[in-house]
Copies of this chain bind each other. A is one copy, B any other.
Amino acid sequence: MAERPRRKQLADQVAETLQERVLNGEWKPGEKLPTEFDLIEDLNVGRGTVREAVKILVTRNVLEIRRGNGTYVVENPGQVEDPFGFAFYGDKWKLAEDLCEVRLLLEPDIAALAAQRAAPEEIAYILECCDAVEEQIHSGQSHSETDRAFHGAIAAASHNHVLSSMAPVIQQGVSAFIEVTNSSLTQMTILTHRKVADAIARHDPEAASAAMREHLEHNRDHIQNVDGRGKQ
């Protein structure tokens, strides 16, 4: 490979400097960066170097460029969409099974923590998502996005940042294997979601955990069912 040009090395250094400001809290998530002109003055480098450095941090999911508006720190710096490279897994059925197993290990515990820790406004939001999923199922609309919001709201109410970061990752991917229009599944979803939400609302960790387990076991059984047919 060719030698790296000097500007590239300088851009890497400037990227580190800018990232350091996010790491040490000088620039907070969601905050707007100074203008390009101010950064050029401040860092004493050229416009091309500043742009290159910003691009590096966009690739790392630290900054985002909003067209015609400026450069911002993203809401969750450093988080990537598919952090474990699930897209590269060869056997998608095995991946779906593994994800189901992990959800069954984690989500009942997450529901129990939410029942212990949820604030009133978090409970209100969980119940709101629960209502919305039910309405969408009754009106024949897709409820997959609201379903993710429901499970995400429960994870957020666990007040554990690691769990709420991990939850969307383990919740993804399984939906592709569930025939969501199946009416026995949707009826069971309405019933078990409601049980989970009510148990969290009355701060009953054991009931929340048991209801979440029931919900996920039903989902898993349905996937295995589709799986059996899918594999011939």
For residue A148, CB closer than 8 A to chain B, the reply is: no
- Known A51-B1, A85-B77, A166-B84; judge A94-B161 contact (CB<8 A): yes
- Known A105-B106, A105-B109; judge A23-B87 contact (CB<8 A): yes
Query: Given the complex of chains A and B, what is the CA–CA distance between A65 and B67 in angstroms?
Result: 34
- Known A1-B65, A51-B1, A166-B166; judge A87-B78 contact (CB<8 A): yes
- Known A59-B59, A166-B166; judge A22-B88 contact (CB<8 A): yes
For residue A17, CB closer than 8 A to chain B, the reply is: no
Q: Is the CB of B170 within 8 A of A98?
A: no
From 65 to 111 in chain A, residues with beta carbon under 8 angstroms from any chain B beta carbon are 65, 67, 76-80, 82-90, 94-95, 98-99, 101-102, 105-106, 109
Q: Is the CB of A84 within 8 A of B78?
A: yes
Chain B proximity of A112: nearest CB distance (Å)? 10
In the complex, residue of chain B having the shortest beta-carbon distance to the beta carbon of A62: B88
In the complex, residue of chain B having the shortest beta-carbon distance to the beta carbon of A54: B1
* Partner pick for A160 among B22, B102, B162, CB 8 A cutoff: B102
Interface residues on chain A, number (Cβ under 8 Å): 43
Chain B proximity of A1: nearest CB distance (Å)? 6
- Can you offer 20 A-B residue contacts whose CB atoms are under 8 A? A1-B67, A23-B88, A76-B85, A77-B85, A77-B88, A78-B82, A78-B84, A78-B87, A80-B83, A83-B83, A83-B84, A83-B169, A84-B162, A84-B166, A95-B162, A99-B162, A102-B162, A102-B163, A105-B106, A166-B166
Q: Apart from A78-B85, A79-B84, list 5 A-B contacts with CB within 8 A.
A: A1-B51, A78-B88, A98-B160, A98-B161, A106-B106
